[in-house]
Chains A and B, each alone.
Chain A
Amino acid sequence: MPKRSAIPNHEKGYFRAVLGFVAPVVVFFTIFQIYPLMKNVWLSFTTIKGGFTLNNYYQILTSQSFWQSTWITVSFSLISVSIEMLIGFVFALLLNEEFHGRKALRTVFLIPWALPTAIMATGWKFLLQHSYGPFPWLLYWLHLAKSPPYFLSTPNLAFISIIMADAWKTVPFCALLLLAGLQAIPKDLYEAMQVDGAGWFFQLRKLTIPLMIPAIIVTLMFRFLQAFGVFDLIWVLTSGGPGNATMALSPFIYQQTFNWLDVRAGAATSVMMAIYILVLVVIVWTTRSYIGRRYAQ
């Protein structure tokens, strides 16, 4: 006869059931997230022979490419997200108006966002190609440029191209998130303001924007973290070039790891990037709780 155990029988079964449900997630996370993460951190602190070293960090922190990549990533994220938020907000305001065919437009509007990045980036590459791309030639024919510009092989233009393509893809996403925020604002607040004599701009300033702060912060945070890790768009469109003009951190890590096979430098760069993101999240969270208090409803 089995002895009385600390856990009653039915609870044992319950415990087993819980284990059964939790185990797949734990296994999945361990194999695909925790293990690679640990391995990556471990790699970044070791030599090829397996000894501890800080040399990998020394190497990247003193290299110009790392700091240039950091700068490109930060400026890309700041510029593209600001543009996307601004345009997205305008589109959200438009799509929030009552008009014929609004539902259809809202659906069509989302297509760029629904496209896989690699595919839309290939499309943009075609549009921007110097030799046959419609975009450079259009500018030329419209006399906006003296000759068809080399979008993808001029450093500044390549950077601008990436921002344009990123905006094209993610404006709908920003607009959608912001639209959800707009629609959560009760209609009668606007009506009350109109009756009180307020015009469109007054309503925007006193009602829409303050009430949208939470939605704006969420969208900003989401987009900024996404932009910070940008990879596929750049890889397809410019591969980080010309030179290193569009080499953001993610493509840089890829290049170090898989093109130059300098796994340890890549690992150290990844860890640095993780630290950046951590700092970012902390900043966002502290400002969020501050602003949250200010605009709490």
Chain B
Amino acid sequence: MHRLEFKKVYKRFGEKVIAVNNANFFVDEGEFVTLLGPSGCGKTTTLRLIAGLDRTSEGEILINDKIINALSPSERDIAMVFQSYALYPHMNVFENIAIPLQVRKMSKSDVKTRVGSIAQMLGISTLLDRKPRELSGGQRQRVAIGRALVREPNLFLLDEPLANLDAILRHRMRGELKALFHSVDGTTIYVTHDQEEALAMSDKIVVMNYGVIQQIGAPEEIYKRPVNKFVAVFVGNPQINIIEAKNAEDMSKLFSSSKVNALEKLTHDGKVEIGIRPENIVLGKGNIFGKVTLIEPMGANLLVSVETALNSEKIKVKLFISNTVKISEGDDVNFSIKESELLFFLNEKRVDVEG
């Protein structure tokens, strides 16, 4: 198994684009690490740097503490599942999966048993003599994964393997992939723009934006202790409620006096915002009053938008309640906020606020 490390890695395209901007992180043996970020943030570029398909502009990439910058893709012993799957269109499923073994000059009978067992594992045994064009999206994805798994590499790279699947299949495959990659115990780097996927699958998440790594941490840490507003907003569905703390009068309508004092002090240093996750607002209890403006049923829960008038402005927050509660748009409601779970941002960076 491989251990991967990025040291001060930059990747520039031309003068203007910095696709990867001073990336530093490591992936331990056997870890399942997700690169998470919006489209265009440099996730694919990072994977391509690891695979050797692109060369770093600066910095070092290490595998097992050896610098591999100069190695060609074929010398790196890395398997990659491309976002497009990159299946060979003229070969059938068997031939597609067999290619990495043929490159290694494995005997015909060994190839046959290996491909057979991988196909069995992925549930595509009956498709072996089909061409890629005769497969559904989900089947293609399995073939691409089979091709990556078949040679038992030390490092797997997966570039948004679920992005092209429909929602139901995506949810099912999420679980299957997680189980699969835990069972084959290789080191895995998984790219996605879907924060739910990242939270559900990863040992560790690397959050990126505009080529810059924002935060590295376990899913729970990323969710509960985001380092900045970007991470807080990007991770979590529905999005976290953000309220700007402008003046003490407004804040005192929402928070206890000790919090208000602390926030007041903080506003001298810059823009202060408060993040409240929807699940940390409790409806029907407390002394904040507002009006329901929108109800979005989400199955077991309802996502309720509540508008509240502060002294100087009206704010809107979203919160969850069970679908058994009788509520309709236009209702007057009261709610409270779990102050222990609040996130505070000073100039977009998260800070701790005492009190």
Q: Which residues of chain A have a CB within 8 Å of any CB of chain B?
A: 186, 188-189, 191-199, 202, 206-207, 210-211, 295-297
Contacts of A189 in B (CB 8 A): 86, 88-89
**Residues 66-99 of chain B: 1 if any A CB is under 8 Å from the residue's CB, otherwise 0?**
0000001110111110101010111000000001
A152-B2 Cα distance, complex, nearest whole Å: 68
A199-B73 Cα distance, complex, nearest whole Å: 10
Q: How far is the CB of A190 from chain B (nearest CB, A)?
A: 9
A40-B202 Cα distance, complex, nearest whole Å: 79
**Interchain CB contact (< 8 A) of A197 among B82, B86, B88, B100:** B100
**Given A191-B53, A196-B147, does the pair A297, B90 have CB atoms closer than 8 Å?**
yes
Instruction: Sort chain B's interface into a size bin.
Output: 20 to 34
Contacting pair A197 B103 (CB below 8 A): yes
Contacts of B86 in A (CB 8 A): 186, 188-189, 191-192
Contacting pair A296 B72 (CB below 8 A): no
* B133 in contact (CB, < 8 A): yes
Q: How far is the CB of B45 from chain A (nearest CB, A)?
A: 13
Contacts of A211 in B (CB 8 A): 89-90
Contacts of A193 in B (CB 8 A): 99, 103
Chain A contact residues, majority secondary structure: helix
20 A–B contacts, CB within 8 A, in A order = A189-B88, A191-B53, A192-B147, A193-B99, A194-B53, A194-B72, A194-B73, A195-B51, A195-B53, A195-B73, A195-B78, A195-B80, A196-B79, A197-B100, A197-B103, A198-B103, A206-B99, A296-B90, A296-B131, A297-B131
Q: How far is the CB of B4 from chain A (nearest CB, A)?
A: 15
* B104 in contact (CB, < 8 A): yes
Chain B residue with the shortest CB-CB distance to A296: B131
- The 6 residue pairs across chains A and B that have the minimum distance between CB atoms: A297-B89, A192-B86, A194-B73, A196-B100, A188-B86, A197-B103
**Interchain CB contact (< 8 A) of A198 among B74, B84, B89, B133:** B74
Contacts of B76 in A (CB 8 A): 195
Contacting pair A188 B100 (CB below 8 A): no
Contacting pair B80 A192 (CB below 8 A): yes
Contacting pair B99 A297 (CB below 8 A): no
Q: How far is the CB of A163 from chain B (nearest CB, A)?
A: 33
Contacting pair A295 B90 (CB below 8 A): yes
Q: How far is the CB of A193 from chain B (nearest CB, A)?
A: 7
A194-B103 Cα distance, complex, nearest whole Å: 10
Contacts of B78 in A (CB 8 A): 195
Chain A residue with the shortest CB-CB distance to B100: A196
Contacts of B102 in A (CB 8 A): 206
Contacting pair B82 A199 (CB below 8 A): no
**Interchain CB contact (< 8 A) of A199 among B53, B74, B90:** B74
A196-B150 Cα distance, complex, nearest whole Å: 10
Contacts of B53 in A (CB 8 A): 191, 194-195
Most chain A CB neighbours (cut-off 10 Å) among B84, B90, B131? B90
A188-B79 Cα distance, complex, nearest whole Å: 14
A206-B73 Cα distance, complex, nearest whole Å: 18
Contacts of B79 in A (CB 8 A): 195-196
Contacts of B72 in A (CB 8 A): 194
**Residues 260-300 of chain B: 1 if any A CB is under 8 Å from the residue's CB, otherwise 0?**
00000000000000000000000000000000000000000
A296-B91 Cα distance, complex, nearest whole Å: 9
Contacts of A188 in B (CB 8 A): 82, 84, 86
Contacts of B104 in A (CB 8 A): 197
Contacting pair B90 A192 (CB below 8 A): no
Sample of 17 further A-B pairs with CB below 8 A, known A195-B80, A199-B74: A188-B84, A189-B89, A191-B82, A192-B82, A192-B86, A192-B88, A193-B103, A195-B51, A195-B74, A196-B100, A197-B74, A198-B103, A202-B103, A206-B88, A206-B102, A296-B131, A297-B133
Contacting pair A194 B74 (CB below 8 A): yes
Contacts of B147 in A (CB 8 A): 192, 196
Q: How far is the CB of A34 from chain B (nearest CB, A)?
A: 42
A206-B53 Cα distance, complex, nearest whole Å: 20
A207-B88 Cα distance, complex, nearest whole Å: 8
Contacts of A198 in B (CB 8 A): 74, 99, 103
A189-B89 Cα distance, complex, nearest whole Å: 9
Chain A residue with the shortest CB-CB distance to B73: A194
Chain A residue with the shortest CB-CB distance to B133: A297
Chain B residue with the shortest CB-CB distance to A202: B103
**Residues 182-220 of chain B: 1 if any A CB is under 8 Å from the residue's CB, otherwise 0?**
000000000000000000000000000000000000000
Chain B residue with the shortest CB-CB distance to A206: B99
Most chain B CB neighbours (cut-off 10 Å) among A191, A196, A210? A196
Chain A residue with the shortest CB-CB distance to B101: A196
A207-B133 Cα distance, complex, nearest whole Å: 17
Chain B residue with the shortest CB-CB distance to A207: B88
A239-B213 Cα distance, complex, nearest whole Å: 74
**Given A196-B99, A198-B99, does the pair A191, B73 have CB atoms closer than 8 Å?**
yes
Q: How far is the CB of B111 from chain A (nearest CB, A)?
A: 13
Q: How far is the CB of A182 from chain B (nearest CB, A)?
A: 15
Most chain A CB neighbours (cut-off 10 Å) among B77, B82, B151? B82
Contacts of A202 in B (CB 8 A): 103
A47-B34 Cα distance, complex, nearest whole Å: 87
A211-B53 Cα distance, complex, nearest whole Å: 22
Contacting pair A196 B90 (CB below 8 A): no
Contacts of A195 in B (CB 8 A): 51-53, 73-74, 76, 78-80
A197-B103 Cα distance, complex, nearest whole Å: 6
Q: How far is the CB of A292 from chain B (nearest CB, A)?
A: 11
Contacts of B52 in A (CB 8 A): 194-195
Q: How far is the CB of B281 from chain A (nearest CB, A)?
A: 46
Q: How far is the CB of A209 from chain B (nearest CB, A)?
A: 10
Contacts of B100 in A (CB 8 A): 196-197
Q: How far is the CB of B97 from chain A (nearest CB, A)?
A: 10
Contacts of A207 in B (CB 8 A): 88
Contacts of B88 in A (CB 8 A): 189, 192, 206-207
Q: How far is the CB of B260 from chain A (nearest CB, A)?
A: 56
Contacting pair A196 B82 (CB below 8 A): no
